[in-house]
Amino acid sequence: MELLWWVAPAAVAVFGALFVLSGAGHLFSGNLGRGGRNLIGGTAAAGIGFALSLVALNTQLFSRLTHEGPVADVVVKQIDPSASRYLVTVKRLDGHIPDQSCALQGDEWLVGGRVQKWKPWANVLGLDSTYTIDQISNKYFTAERGNGKLITACDLKGTPVVNKYVPDAWLPWLLDHFYTEDRRFGSANYMPLADQAVYRIVITQSGFNAEPVNDTAKAANAVQH
């Protein structure tokens, strides 16, 4: 359906080009009236169709390259204020994976994983970045504050549904024959630990992104440290 928005105008442009050729043929054969009509009508149709196809293609390209997919919600609950300890629950949104909770000590939570990025033309065809989430860990506002403090972390297990458009069996073949892969890299995002805060992790074509969901999370994220 997405391809239809630029394929249809492109078809109109091609149809118009055929009319132009037909009109030129009539002119050479001496049929000036029919040749002129086809030439004028075909030129107009080809121009309009070509212009609309460019607009539609640019719109779809922007839409695909800025596509975001939900990965998980991160819910924070304070368990020991004096020690800056929090219970962080990761609720996956990208597959049937049980909720996972982790006790973190620090100022911020950090989720990291691996991302496989595709070339822009493959994004336009519907091939979104694939990923796996490795772990959630703690982070402090500054290196000085974190020096000598505990590192707390938990593995995040489960294989998400990372691509809704291209079957998994096709991916190795595409990699081998069409050079669709751009690069592989690690990606991580962090947000402040605050009691009752809720955050959402999304996957973009460039990696992970995190955003506050409720007012508590937004207020904590707005504080400068």
What's the pLDDT at 185? 78
Domain boundaries, the chain: 4-64, 69-222
Alpha helices (H) along the chain: 4-28, 32-65, 120-124, 143-146, 170-178, 215-222
Task: Kindly state the average pLDDT of the residues 48-70.
Answer: 59
Q: 225: pLDDT confidence band, cut at 50, 70 and 90?
A: confident
- Tell me if 124 sits within 8 A of 208, measured CB to CB: no
Q: What is the mean pLDDT of residues 194-222?
A: 93
Reported as a single tens digit per residue, the pLDDT across 122-174 is: 666 667 777 888 899 999 999 998 898 888 999 987 655 445 555 566 666 66
With pLDDT > 70 as the criterion, what percentage of the chain qualifies? 55
Cα–Cα separations (whole angstroms), residue 165 to 17, 52, 88, 127, 180? 33, 26, 32, 6, 14
